[in-house]
Chains A and B, each alone.
Chain A
Amino acid sequence: AQKVTQAQTEISVVEKEDVTLDCVYETRDTTYYLFWYKQPPSGELVFLIRRNSFDEQNEISGRYSWNFQKSTSSFNFTITASQVVDSAVYFCALILMDSSYKLIFGSGTRLLVRP
């Protein structure tokens, strides 16, 4: 069975601090995709990144970066120089490559960035 664990329930930082959100996944399959979604207070789900299991290169997009390590089954997300607008719930998710879009979500990490 597949599982995604986000052990950090809530994180509070002061603006401009760097923050890392942890994600650990479990699957016996060797082919899968990993995702991060942002859920701001307005409630919608905003896609941030998709990474397939064959590509372990880290990715940077502006202030966001992702560290994918198959050896530890982790796909961590770092926000550099956090801003108040980054305050949201962040979900990590997993999908098997040969399935329909049955995303398996983690329980989410609530990030609060204080001014």
Chain B
Amino acid sequence: EPEVTQTPSHQVTQMGQEVILRCVPISNHLYFYWYRQILGQKVEFLVSFYNNEISEKSEIFDDQFSVERPDGSNFTLKIRSTKLEDSAMYFCASSGYSGGDEKLFFGSGTQLSVL
């Protein structure tokens, strides 16, 4: 089965530092997403991305966050100045179509620890 690949699997950073989380979605997919899971809590939607622009974002996704598809294969999430509360597992996902009539493929996640 095709896979969404996320790197690194763990990232440790100092508060105030910029961090970039990387994802390689499935090659023929058009819709890309980031989700976040704070330890022990539910998975939360951050942002969806289609046709090189954000299609929807949650209230969590403030000005500190940005997403980019810098080339034909990568999809990145940048946190400009990390805060302690940004510590979480970040999941990238992709789908061929929008909406639920399609399986959403999740990556295995990047565990971000902000010290």
> On chain B, which size bracket covers the interface?
20 to 34
Tell me the total A-B contact number using a CB cutoff of 8 A.
73
Quick check: is B31 within 8 A (CB to CB) of the other chain?
yes
Interface pair B95/A101, CB less than 8 Å apart: yes
Interface pair A103/B111, CB less than 8 Å apart: no
Quick check: is B91 within 8 A (CB to CB) of the other chain?
yes
Q: Using a CB-CB cutoff of 8 Å, which residues 33-52 of chain A contact chain B? A: 33, 35, 37, 42-45, 47, 50, 52
A95 with B103, Cβ < 8 A, contacts A45-B91, A101-B48 known? no
Quick check: is A32 within 8 A (CB to CB) of the other chain?
yes
> On chain A, which size bracket covers the interface?
20 to 34
Interface pair A47/B100, CB less than 8 Å apart: no
B35, B45, B55, B89: most-surrounded residue (chain A CB, <10 A): B45
Residue ranges of B at the interface with A (Cβ–Cβ < 8 Å): 31, 33, 35, 41-45, 48, 50, 55-56, 58, 89, 91, 93, 95, 98-109, 111
* 19 chain-A/chain-B pairs, Cβ below 8 angstroms: A43-B108, A43-B109, A44-B107, A44-B109, A45-B106, A45-B109, A50-B103, A52-B100, A95-B99, A100-B48, A100-B50, A100-B99, A101-B31, A101-B102, A101-B104, A103-B43, A103-B45, A103-B104, A106-B42
